[in-house]
C-alpha cells in the first residue's frame, strides 16, 4: 500500500482497529504516520514469554510513566492516556508476536485491551491504530480508501 493511501486511511479514526501490517511493510506506515505527526510506537515481543514479560516490554518500549504497574489494567490506562506524548493520532506496531499468538489466551487478552484503548481514543475523535507484523487468524486487513 502506498504512503499517500495509508495517510488518508490513518486520518480516519472511525476505521481504527487491530490490523495486519500491510504487505508494503513498516516503512510506508511509518512515513504516513510521520506525515500526520502521529508517533509510530514500536513494541518488539520476540523475546517476551508470558504476560508478565509482555507487559514489561510494553512499558519499556513505550517509556510508560514510573507508576505503570505492569498489569493489563495499567497497560490500558497508559495506552488510553498518552499525555506525556500528546499527538493528533497514534500508530502502534507490534513485531515478533508469533509466540504470543501461539499462546491463544494471552494474545486474546492483549487484543481485548488494545480494542478497548482504540474505542476510548475513537470516542475522542483521535486515531489509534494497531498493526501486527504477523498473519494471525482473527486480524483484519486494511480497508480500501479512495
493528533: which residue's cell?
Answer: 88
Phi/psi class of residue 144: alpha, beta or left (left: φ > 0; alpha: ψ in -120 to 50)?
Answer: beta
- 120, burial (CB in 10 Å: exposed 0-12, middle 13-18, buried 19+): middle
The residues, any chain, with a CB within 8 Å of residue 33's CB and separated by 6 or more, are: 10, 39, 40, 89, 91
d(CA 22, CA 134): 10
pLDDT at residue 146 greater than cutoff 50: no
CA 31, CA 29: separation in Å to the nearest integer? 5
Q: What is the DSSP letter of 2?
A: -
In this structure, which topology does domain 3-132 adopt according to CATH?
Barnase; Chain D (3.30.370)
Higher pLDDT, 99 or 125: 125
Beta bridge partners of 140: 19
Answer whether residue 49 shows pLDDT above 60: yes
pLDDT category at 117 given cuts 50, 70, 90 is very high
Amino acid at each position: 500500500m502506498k504512503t499517500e493511501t495509508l495517510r488518508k486511511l490513518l486520518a480516519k479514526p472511525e476505521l481504527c482497529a487491530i490490523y495486519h501490517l500491510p504487505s508494503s511493510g513498516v516503512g510506508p506506515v511509518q512515513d504516513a504516520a510521520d506525515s500526520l505527526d502521529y508517533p509510530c510506537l514500536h513494541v518488539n515481543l520476540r523475546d517476551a514469554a508470558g504476560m508478565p514479560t509482555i507487559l514489561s516490554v510494553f512499558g519499556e518500549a513505550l517509556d510508560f510513566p514510573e507508576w505503570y504497574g505492569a498489569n493489563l489494567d495499567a497497560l490500558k490506562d497508559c495506552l488510553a492516556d498518552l499525555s506525556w506524548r500528546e499527538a493528533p493520532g497514534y500508530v502502534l506496531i507490534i513485531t515478533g508476536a508469533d509466540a504470543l499468538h501461539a499462546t491463544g489466551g494471552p494474545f486474546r487478552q492483549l487484543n481485548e485491551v488494545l480494542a478497548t484503548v482504540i474505542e476510548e481514543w475513537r470516542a475522542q475523535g483521535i486515531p489509534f491504530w494497531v498493526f501486527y507484523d504477523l498473519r494471525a487468524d482473527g486480524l483484519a486487513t486494511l480497508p480500501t480508501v479512495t
